[in-house]
């Protein structure tokens, strides 16, 4: 039923020619769609598809695919706001910086927060915490699924984007990865649990898990690398640590959890500008044993 609903996503012709990076010959395309989640108020949105260096010249090659979910600050209308999604993350690293990241990458944009005027107040930034591993016992100020109006509300759109990208481009269905930061970290947890069979690996950054997702990820033995900033005042390290603990208790054989003690909520900057995450992803194929993830 969910698959049939996903197919109701109307994929439209690209509204603009591909941009080509003169340095690397990589391409950045826009793909249009009508969202199954927001079509009553926002239609004809777009998402980005990045085609890496060598895509055109290596005609017979199947490429690994990354679905990247941005944070709350990059939300927008999916058209004139779409390039806000290039502020952080792997698509920015490849397109803006010109790095040779050997992935096809999908960059959707979550709708604006105007649907919930109080959300910014509830999730606004605060001063970084000092380096400390002491737990406070402070409860998260949101429901189990994460901050309000998150990526879980466009779940069907995201799965349809992945399907469309695999069909239109030479993506390898056994090497599809998902990662995201902040709001996108919560979204990564949700999508990893709801569609564990789709992914070769998942990497949520500064986001905690919905408890409902934990047993599904553990049962699938989905390779996962959880990353958190120790000084994060928005998503506290203890909340994310609890997700890692719960995942291990649920029987996941290889939970990988890294805390950058000196970093705050922007820990994603260090992660995405490095190579470790991308190299780790490329070690995994869909269905492979999670015991190899470390």
Instruction: Please report, for the domain that includes residue 176, its CATH number.
Output: 3.40.50.1820
Buried b (16+ CB within 10 A) or exposed e, 237-257: bbbbbbbbebbeeeebebbbb
Give yes or no for residue 182 having a pLDDT over 80: yes
What is the distance between the alpha carbons of residues 35 and 5, in angstroms, rounded to a whole number? Answer: 12
Is 137 inside a domain boundary? no
Q: Does residue 244 lie within any of the structural domains?
A: yes
pLDDT of residue 217: 98
Tokens of 165: 């990208």
Confidence of residue 241 (pLDDT cuts 50, 70, 90): very high
Query: Which is more confident, 133 or 51?
Result: 51
Give yes or no for a contact between 187 and 161, defined as CB atoms under 8 angstroms apart. no
pTM over 0.75: yes
Name the average pLDDT for the chain.
Answer: 88
Task: Note the pLDDT of residue 230.
Answer: 95
229 in a structural domain:
yes
For residue 92, the model assigns a pLDDT of 97
What's the CA gap between 183 and 71, in Å, rounded?
5
Whether 211 is covered by a domain: the verdict is yes
In a domain, 227, yes or no: yes
On the question of pLDDT at 77 being above 60, the answer is yes
Token pair 């941005």 is found at 70
Flag whether 186 is in a domain.
Answer: yes
What's the domain range around 206?
2-11+18-120+142-292
Strands 171-181 and 19-20: unpaired
Domain assignment present for 278: yes
Rounded to a whole number, what is the distance in angstroms from the first to the last CA of the chain? 35
Q: Quick one: pLDDT at residue 44?
A: 77
Q: What is the pLDDT of residue 6?
A: 37
In this prediction, residue 15 has a pLDDT band, given cuts at 50, 70 and 90, of: very low
Q: Give yes or no for residue 119 having a pLDDT over 50.
A: no
Confidence grade of residue 131 (pLDDT, cut at 50, 70, 90):
confident
Give the residue from 69, 56, 46, 67 showing the smallest Cα distance to 24: 56
pLDDT at 130 (0 to 100)? 77
Task: Report the C-alpha gap between 5 and 27 in whole angstroms.
Answer: 30
Residue 211 in this model has a pLDDT that exceeds 60:
yes
**Residue 125: inside a domain:** no
Pairing of strands 63-69, 171-181: parallel
- pLDDT at residue 128 greater than cutoff 80: no
Query: Which residues, 6 or more positions from 16, have their beta carbon under 8 angstroms from its beta carbon?
Result: 30
How many domains does the chain contain in total?
Answer: 1
Q: How far apart are CA 25 and CA 54, in angstroms?
A: 8
Let me know: does 29 contact 106? Beta carbons within 8 Å. no
């Amino acid at each position: 039923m969910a698959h049939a609903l996903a197919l109701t996503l109307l994929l439209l012709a690209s509204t603009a020619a591909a941009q080509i990076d003169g340095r690397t010959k990589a391409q950045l395309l826009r793909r249009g769609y009508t969202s199954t989640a927001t079509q009553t108020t926002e239609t004809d949105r777009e998402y980005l598809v990045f085609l890496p260096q060598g895509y055109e010249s290596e005609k017979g090659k199947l490429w690994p695919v990354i679905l990247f979910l941005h944070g709350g600050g990059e939300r927008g209308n999916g058209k004139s706001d779409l390039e806000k999604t290039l502020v952080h993350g792997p698509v920015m690293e490849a397109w803006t910086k010109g790095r040779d990241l050997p992935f096809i990458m999908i960059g959707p944009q979550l709708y604006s927060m105007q649907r919930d005027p109080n959300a910014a107040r509830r999730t606004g930034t605060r001063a970084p915490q000092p380096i400390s591993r002491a737990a406070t016992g402070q409860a998260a100020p949101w429901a189990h699924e994460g901050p309000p109006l998150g990526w879980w509300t466009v779940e069907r759109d995201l799965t349809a984007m992945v399907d469309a990208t695999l069909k239109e481009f030479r993506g390898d269905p056994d090497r599809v990865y998902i990662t995201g930061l902040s709001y996108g970290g919560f979204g990564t947890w949700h999508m990893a649990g709801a569609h564990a069979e789709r992914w070769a690996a998942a990497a949520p950054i500064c986001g905690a898990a919905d408890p409902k997702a934990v047993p599904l990820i553990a049962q699938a033995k989905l390779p996962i690398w959880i990353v958190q900033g120790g000084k994060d005042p928005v998503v506290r390290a203890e909340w994310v640590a609890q997700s890692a603990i719960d995942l291990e208790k649920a029987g996941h054989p290889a939970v990988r959890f890294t805390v950058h003690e000196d970093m705050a909520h922007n820990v994603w900057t260090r992660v995405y500008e490095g190579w470790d995450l991308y190299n780790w992803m490329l070690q995994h194929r869909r269905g492979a044993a999670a015991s190899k993830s470390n």
